[in-house]
Amino acid sequence: MFLFKLKIYLRILTASWSTFGFNKEFLRFLFIRPVMLLFNSITLFLDNIFFPEYRRIKIEKPIFIIGHPRSGTTFLHRLLTQSQEFAVFEFWQLLFPSLVARKILAPFIMSRIKKGKNTFYYPKSIGHKMTLGSIEEEELLFYHIFNTQFIAIQTSLGLGNKDFMDLVYSDNQPKNVRQKTIQFFKQCLQRQIYYLGKKQILTKMNHSAFRIQSLLEAFPDAKIIYLVRSPYETISSHLSLDRNVLDFQWGLKKIPANRLQRYFERRYHYDVQFYQYIENLISKGIFNPSQFMTLSYDLLKNDLGKAIQTILEFTGLEISQELRKKIQEQIKTQSSYRRKHRNLELKEFGLSKERIARDLSFIFDKYGFKK
């Protein structure tokens, strides 16, 4: 696992240098990032000394929400977790999964949140606002071990000459890498249950659809909610989000045009692969019907009450009256929602509806999406 992380780390440095030269990101990853990795490694180790009880916690019937990015997974995850009934992660807790680290840093972080200084990463205009106290997806935990597609967009890696397919096809990674990755993830979940005192895991991990078989090996009683939406909508929205992130982090004018277009082409290819991978597993009968459900984005949008009831029946979740009330409030305002960000036309990314319809005809045909 160490060699895997070292390889990705060196590729980030190489991609940063070849794309931007001697800049702040290069220096950050050369000097600051190793210090942060060392801090997290040491504090995670110290958890075993000061909080050994967390390792005895059993994870039972975890729920994994997956779907192509921009399929409504964030909306569903935040809707179900707003009453704080489940073991989920605030963004700052994802940054510091160690219990020891949280003991050290919590007073400072809580002070910032109370003062309203918690917009830590992306503003709302990007298309996905992230604050220190916002509930975020557990996929970000894998960033600590350099094993998630998020690295391709949150660093220069995705702009480098080498593609990032080894971070995409997680189920196909070497056995020791897969096992160490899942072990790390499992221990993070155990820590969170211990930290919050809540047993039910409810995660949102879109990119981990590519490691779903590894997750099922570790959590055979897991429940999977798979959200599906028209590729016309998801791909345009996903690429627009990534474009906004790239612009926010570096400025589009600073990125060579050929590298930017190459990133979008790679991202599109892996977006297509996402649908193909999940649908292949479904067609092969990998998923037990009692542990895998498909939920249409259109149902989530047009009949939220029915969608939530279907989820509750499938998962067996018991939710409080407080959460039921919040869901009812959302149902009343659902029809008036308007997104705050703008999705770009497909042609801005060198794509067309015809190409998407051709590459993903099996999705349009199976789910009846309009071509």
Rounded to whole angstroms, the Cα distance separating 234 from 111 reads: 37
- For 183-200, what is each residue's pLDDT tens digit? 999 999 999 999 999 999
Task: State yes or no: pLDDT of 117 exceeds 80.
Answer: no
Give the 3-state secondary structure of residue 57. Answer: coil
- For 212-236, what is each residue's pLDDT tens digit? 999 999 999 999 999 999 999 999 9
pLDDT band with cut points at 50, 70 and 90 for residue 313: very high
Rounded to whole angstroms, the Cα distance separating 137 from 71 reads: 14
Neighbours of 197 (CB within 10 A): 7
First to last CA, the chain: 44
Q: pLDDT > 90: what percent of the chain?
A: 87
- For 258-294, what is each residue's pLDDT tens digit? 999 999 999 999 999 999 999 999 999 999 999 999 9
Neighbours of 162 (CB within 10 A): 10
Mean of pLDDT values over 242-271: 95
Nearest by Cα to 215 from 198, 200, 203, 227: 203
Q: What's the pTM?
A: 0.94
Task: State yes or no: pLDDT of 127 exceeds 60.
Answer: no
- For 71-105, what is each residue's pLDDT tens digit? 999 999 999 999 999 999 999 999 999 999 999 99
Rounded to whole angstroms, the Cα distance separating 348 from 340 reads: 20
pLDDT band with cut points at 50, 70 and 90 for residue 256: very high
Q: Looking at 77-81, 109-113, 192-196, 352-356, which range is the least confident one?
A: 109-113
Residue whose pair of structure tokens reads 């990795």 in the numeric block: 37
- The 8-class DSSP code of residue 70 comes to T
Say yes or no: domain 2-367 is CATH 2.60.40.10.
Answer: no
For 104-148, strand residue ranges (E) read none
Q: Give domain limits for the chain.
A: 2-367
Nearest by Cα to 144 from 250, 77, 56, 44: 44
Q: State the Rg of the chain over Cα.
A: 20
Rounded to whole angstroms, the Cα distance separating 122 from 245 reads: 8
Average pLDDT of every residue of the chain: 94
Question: What pLDDT is recorded for position 126?
Answer: 60
Residues 307-334: b if buried by 16+ CB within 10 A, e if exposed = bbebbeebbebebeeebeebbeebeeee
